[in-house]
Amino acid sequence: MPEANPRHCVLVRVTHWLTTIAFFALLVTGIELVISHPRFYWGEVGNVNTASLFDIPIPSSRAGVKTGYDYVLPDQNGWSRSLHFEAAWLVVFAALVYGIAGLINGHFRKHLLPANFSIAALLQEIRPHMRPQSRSGSYNLLQQLAYLSVIFGLFPLMIWTGLAMSPAFTSAFPLAVTVFGGHQSARTIHFFCTIALVLFVLIHVVMVIRTGLKQNLLAMTAGESRDTK
Partner 1 sequence: MSQSTRRAWLTALAGTTGLAAASRLASQYGLIPPFTNSLYAPGETLTYAAQRLITAQSMAREFSTSLISSLPVANGEPPNLPEYKKHQATGFSDWQLQVEGLVDKPGTFSMSRLKSFPSNSQITQLICEEGWSYIAQWTGVRLSRVLEQAGMRPDAKYVTYHSIEPGWLDTIDMAEALHPQTLVAYGMNGSSIPLGNGAPLRLRVPRQLGYKSIKYIHRLVVSDRLPEPNQAAGGLAFGYSWYAGI
Dihedral, CA of residue 191, residue 86, residue 200 and residue 154, to nearest 10: 60
Of these, 140, 143, 170, 225, which contacts partner 1 (CB under 8 A)?
170
* C-beta of 24 vs 89, nearer to partner 1: 89
Identify whether the C-beta of residue 197 lies closer than 8 Å to the C-beta of residue 150: yes
Which one, 46 or 102, has the nearer CB to partner 1? Answer: 46
With 0-12 / 13-18 / 19 or more C-beta atoms within 10 angstroms meaning exposed / middle / buried, residue 19 is buried
Separation of alpha carbons 5 and 99, rounded Å: 21
Q: Judged by CB under 8 A, which of 10, 21, 48, 198 binds partner 1?
A: 48
Among the residue ranges 29-37, 102-110, 111-119, 125-133, the one whose residues contact partner 1 (CB under 8 A): 29-37
Distance in Å, CB of 23 to partner 1, minimum: 15
Backbone angles phi and psi of 129, in degrees to 5: -70, -25
Q: Name the 3-class secondary structure at 40.
A: strand
**Near partner 1 by CB under 8 A, which window of 5-13, 28-36, 96-104, 110-118?**
28-36
81 binds partner 1 (CB under 8 A): yes
The residues pairing with 55 across neighbouring beta strands, listed in sequence order, are: 39
- The whole-angstrom separation of Cα 161 and Cα 60 is 23
State the Cα–Cα distance between residues 73 and 36, nearest whole angstrom: 9
Q: Which of 10, 45, 53, 123 binds partner 1 (CB under 8 A)?
A: 45
Of 211, 52, 223, the closest CA to residue 140 belongs to: 211
**54 part of the interface to partner 1, by CB under 8 A:** no
Residue 57 binding partner 1, by CB under 8 A: no
Residue 199 binds to partner 1 (criterion: CB under 8 A): no
Q: Which residues bind partner 1 (CB under 8 A)?
A: 33-34, 36-37, 39, 44-50, 62, 64, 75, 77-79, 81-83, 85-89, 165-174, 177, 183-184, 187
